[in-house]
Amino acid sequence: MYERLFNFKGTPNTDVDELLRNAELRAEIEPYVDESVSRIFWHGFPIRFENEFLANMLEWEVSPIEPIYRWFEPELHIPTPESLTDEKLSIILFDLINKLFERKIVLDFSDHLSDRELYVLIYREILPSREKNLRYCNCYIHWDCSYGDSEVWLRYYASDEDREQWSDNYDEPLPPKQVPHQHRNLHQHPF
């Protein structure tokens, strides 16, 4: 129903086209708006930025929350980790990582995990996780494969500067710095 508003392919020829799209977006989002939107100061920004923001906001409001495996057509069902040899699992894993990235899911801090550990994480936690299925906005989910564990981050991923700052702030001993077990060079996308 809203696809044409989210997936605006054409480049408006005039400011009038942008204003018409803006009016349409504002009308569609009206039922979802509260006072926080009125606090956004748009003066000085091109209307196309406002239109992009409103389209993303509208998509957020109307998109379903569903398990990630349902974001795929057909649904993404993968073999159980126990049923795979290490070699077969590694092949499937890299295909799976690419499929997740195509659906705007980035796996952060995964190099300390073996292929099997990462596959299990995807199988048990990522694919069944219920998230907003945003198809059109340029939004990425960054999945923290370290589970937000500061010790893992400090051990494998933190720079020397980050480690020093952590030590100064928390007055706790630092874990020894280690090189991660893997170097997957996975897809990245800024936050």
Q: Report yes or no: 168 and 144 within 8 Å, Cβ to Cβ.
A: no
Same domain, 73 and 101: yes
Mean pLDDT of the chain: 87
Distance CA 25, CA 5 (A): 7
Q: Report yes or no: 58 and 25 within 8 Å, Cβ to Cβ.
A: yes
What contacts 24+ positions apart, CB below 8 Å, involve 83-89? 84/119, 86/115, 86/116, 89/115, 89/116, 89/119
Range of the domain at 8: 3-62
Distance CA 55, CA 53 (A): 5
DSSP bridge pairs for 142: 106
Same domain, 165 and 104: yes
Q: Which of 187, 185, 182, 184 is nearest to 105 (CA)?
A: 187
Give a yes or no: residue 187 inside a domain: no
The position carrying tokens 């992009």 is 52
Q: What is the mean pLDDT of residues 151-170?
A: 93
Distance CA 70, CA 172 (A): 43
Same domain, 54 and 86: no
Same domain, 53 and 73: no
Q: What is the pLDDT of residue 99?
A: 96
Question: Between residues 28 and 127, which one has the greater pLDDT?
Answer: 127
* pLDDT tens-place string over residues 131-146: 999 888 788 899 999 9
Q: What percentage of residues in the chain have a pLDDT greater than 70?
A: 88
* pLDDT tens-place string over residues 96-118: 999 999 999 999 999 999 999 99
pTM for this one?
0.79
Distance CA 152, CA 167 (A): 15
Same domain, 74 and 143: yes
Q: Angle formed by the axes of helices 15-29 and 47-62, to 10°?
A: 30
Q: Above 70 in pLDDT, residue 8?
A: no
Same domain, 75 and 140: yes
* pLDDT tens-place string over residues 35-76: 776 667 767 778 888 888 888 888 888 889 999 999 999 999
Cis peptide bond N-terminal to 180, omega within 30: no
Q: What is the 3-state secondary structure (H, E, C) of 44-97?
A: CCCHHHHHHHHHHHHHHHHCCEEEHHHHCCCCCCCCCHHHCCHHHHHHHHHHHH
User: How far are the Cα atoms of 27, 41, 51, 53 from residue 45, in angstroms, in the given order?
Assistant: 20, 9, 11, 11
Total number of domains in the chain: 2
> What band does 183 get if pLDDT is binned at 50, 70 and 90?
confident
Q: Above 70 in pLDDT, residue 119?
A: yes
